[in-house]
Structure 1
């Protein structure tokens, strides 16, 4: 936003400013519509005074034509004004969703911190929509102001007391409507927050439904979701109750105001101060005023909800990055030597480790937290608290996160597959035209493809749910190998495959990665057996290293960890 600090208000202002052309045109057209609506009772009054009471057919025909033109103008004005305002609404909604997606996908990360994926999805869909709709509400609000002005002028011409009643009574009524909307705004934020939390937990449970069924944890999962959904329901009911009370109060206030206007007009007619046509016009205008006053209530409610949603959007957009962004480019030729110097992060406490270029290194972490912390630093998901991770003598933090991740590719244990074909998933990181067969064969994913109906062109469902756990792991490993990164870091890539297949994968991994640096965090004997060297991490430091066979014979603790 041009250097402007991002707040809820700036998000709301930016949403309107970005669509100002459409909003401006829609406002003019809606003003034409509301002005035409306000003129209808005035013209009806003129027809009565100028034609009906006088019995003049030519005057009657003329004023009926004028009335018809007024109806045509107001009808077309609303039609094209609604098109413009809805266009502004959906475009603003789209821009906000794109901005949120851009922030969530920022290589520096940070937007997902403390938020479930379902929560981010709710913000990007429901909250963005609530902010976008102000581009429809604002033109209607401006048109309602114009309608009140036209009605007030018409009433002043009919009767000064009636006109003054409108002019002096409307501002307090509008202020009361604004005050009545405060509870809606206060409760709209918690309602969206609880709904987002429920959506996030639901998405989390659906993603892990197989695991839940496997361990028999369905009742606990159902209870967890029930508790969250009950909280969300309570927040929604409170917000809905506030909205219903608000709408009822606004309707009552409008009704009382209009009743006063109608009563004053009736008394003036009874005293002969105004004609029959003027009385009809005054009563018609009093009834018409219900529309702009109701619009004020609706617009105020939309802005109250939009302010709460804009604040939530601003929180995501201003999330602190998880990692710094260096500006140094990665060289075209990357030998792939990795060095950890006094690396401190999470459970790692001053870890020192040298990985020469081209080495296949096995890492055994007795504490899973050490593996998680190491993967976060190697994958640039987090900056070290102290020390550094160096690639060919240069700290990873000096590179941009995306370039560092292309040079040092971390394939997580729970790597996700995406809806599409097996071929598309494997080539996702390598790009079209790359040869996927070596990677498929090394990961034994070619056997997976051969068993599927359409082979490599078989469509798989979202997150690979149409595949078994072992099949998903092999396709994900093939994808990591196909990327052909200078440094590849694998985390437990074979936990869901049988021992025979695992041995074949180990041999294929060594062959396909020969001459390039590969780090495998695992306790699998088959994978460790093909490594050049194994290091053992305990309490955040290296406590032993050597060949797998030597460590098995010499280190009891290693043997228990690997063969358990």
Structure 2
């Protein structure tokens, strides 16, 4: 079996619980779904009544040449059309509002997970994949709320059609009652196949999006090492897999909807043929024949909606599983050997500078995310991955312009952090130097020092840094470490700082060095 046929699984190898996401969406929007289903069912009842009223008008008004009766029935028809139009308009509006609102809620849930709850490494998803999930998958999952009321109203319409046909002839009604469940059961057999194909499609689209994001982010580095050709080949390969997955999903969609349309058409033709036979044999009147033909033609719509619901659910289920993979909270207790204990020796005392050594980068990221989940006031965690934004150096350093320090003070801080290269040797006017999207106009070391300066300007009571200077040379790293210590831990300082690092420069200036499990035992600072 190729990787295109595999259903997505989470980082522990388990199938994500997309059904729980869908159940939550339906439960949270149940009032809107009930209202929409009621209005759309009213619309369907009116649709069913149209051929019935036409048949009655033919038998009673035209058959007896009664003009007054014809006018009355035409007026009734006009009122029915008015009701069905209004019911559909507001029923569809409520369903669409629920779908869009749920898609937005899922996007916000994904964004909150990415920004606050779960580090990207915990789910093994790259930025582009998470972006794809938060956009297209959230939309596909939310769209299910559009189809649930339609399916509910379609079932009500099928019941109404069966009742009308039984009223005309019992055999016709029983034919519909038996044929419809059989048809839906046959179409349902294709649902798991469609789910798997849609899941594979969304998975490979996310992978190609992630690779594209990585390429754009690292374009400067790739150009520098002459690897643009190799990177382009890798993207073409990923794009080809995504294209193949989309083609297979389209074939699956086509097979599913083709089967649904074909089966519903056969049922409608069968009902119409049976009614024609009854009319020729004199078992039903001309008006009844018109009613049956109208109902048979109308049957194709609710039958198609009901038959296609499993496909809609399959698509939403595949997307919901990817959302479940992203938003699952992978906390440290079951994922790593690093203990979650904020009262341990890793917690600094007021005014203390503590360096925490980790056995590897994964343990360091995990420990940083654990501290980040602690929502104590006055706590600021500056992650290893630096986030800068389009604007200027000043706008990236100052969060609140009204509470900003003097520009000269900011320049002095940057000088102390060995950042004259960022200022290009200039003064306060250099703070207005433009910064491109994600800070790509700066080097990695410059971005790290800007992020560090931003954290120092915030001046939190407790500051946690994770490998803040991996992109600078050893000499600059020592200057930065000493500058941070002087800035936050002068005489009488009550602020505490924790640095998760194995860098000798930071270990040297720390008041205390603590080792996480897997490292050497706790050792004093030199």
Partner of 1:480: 455
Q: Residues 89 and 133 of structure 1 are in contact (CA less than 8 Å); yes or no, is this contact kept in structure 2?
A: yes
Q: Does 1:443 align with 2:414?
A: yes
Q: Point out the structure with the larger strand share.
A: 1
Partner of 2:354: 338
Q: Normalising by the residue count of structure 1, what TM-score does the alignment of the two structures yield?
A: 0.75
1:181 pairs, out of 182, 191, 194, with 191
Q: Secondary structure at the match of 2:309?
A: helix
Q: Residues 354 and 498 of structure 2 are in contact (CA less than 8 Å); yes or no, is this contact kept in structure 1?
A: no
Ranges in structure 1 where 5+ consecutive residues have no aligned partner: 1-5, 348-371, 383-395, 548-564
1:374–1:22 Cα change, 3 Å? closer
1:9 pairs, out of 14, 19, 29, with 19
Q: Point out the structure with the larger helix share.
A: 2
Q: Normalising by the residue count of structure 2, what TM-score does the alignment of the two structures yield?
A: 0.80
1:316–1:431 Cα change, 3 Å? farther
Alpha-carbon deviations, 1:148-207, whole Å to 9, x = none? 111111111222221121112111112112123332112111111111111111111111
Q: Residues 52 and 60 of structure 1 are in contact (CA less than 8 Å); yes or no, is this contact kept in structure 2?
A: yes
Deviation of the 1:212 alpha carbon: 0.7
Partner Cα distance (1:334, 1:167) in 2 = 76
2:45 pairs, out of 20, 35, 41, with 35
Map of 1:38-117 to 2, 5 A cutoff? 38-107=48-117, 109=119, 112-117=122-127
Deviation of the 1:118 alpha carbon: 1.4
Alpha-carbon deviations, 1:75-122, whole Å to 9, x = none? 111100011001111122122222223333345647743111211222
Partner Cα distance (1:374, 1:196) in 2 = 27
Q: Residues 40 and 88 of structure 2 are in contact (CA less than 8 Å); yes or no, is this contact kept in structure 1?
A: yes
Deviation of the 1:251 alpha carbon: 1.3
Map of 1:255-274 to 2, 5 A cutoff? 255-274=265-284
Partner of 2:379: 406
Partner Cα distance (2:143, 2:477) in 1 = 55
Q: Residues 123 and 326 of structure 2 are in contact (CA less than 8 Å); yes or no, is this contact kept in structure 1?
A: no
1:380 pairs, out of 368, 372, 375, with 368
Deviation of the 1:214 alpha carbon: 1.1
How many equivalent pairs are there? Answer: 491
Map of 1:362-511 to 2, 5 A cutoff? 372=361, 375-376=364-365, 380-381=368-369, 401-403=374-376, 406=379, 409-410=381-382, 412=384, 414-428=385-399, 433-435=403-405, 437=407, 438-444=409-415, 448=423, 456=431, 460-467=435-442, 472-485=447-460, 489=465, 491=467, 493=469, 495=471
Greater relative contact order (Cα 8 A, min sep 6): structure 1 or 2? Answer: 2
Alpha-carbon deviations, 1:219-266, whole Å to 9, x = none? 111111111111111111111101001111111111211111111011
1:157–1:455 Cα change, 3 Å? farther
1:434–1:211 Cα change, 3 Å? same
Deviation of the 1:346 alpha carbon: 3.1
Q: Does 1:311 align with 2:321?
A: yes
Q: Residues 443 and 509 of structure 1 are in contact (CA less than 8 Å); yes or no, is this contact kept in structure 2?
A: no
Alpha-carbon deviations, 1:337-383, whole Å to 9, x = none? 4266xx6x535xxxxxxxxxxxxxxxxxxxxxxxx478547x6247x
1:495–1:245 Cα change, 3 Å? closer
1:177–1:416 Cα change, 3 Å? same
Partner Cα distance (1:288, 1:452) in 2 = 77
Q: Residues 448 and 468 of structure 2 are in contact (CA less than 8 Å); yes or no, is this contact kept in structure 1?
A: no
Ranges in structure 2 where 5+ consecutive residues have no aligned partner: 1-15, 334-338
Partner of 1:213: 223
Partner Cα distance (2:435, 2:319) in 1 = 36
Q: Secondary structure at the match of 1:169?
A: helix
Q: Does 1:512 align with 2:487?
A: yes
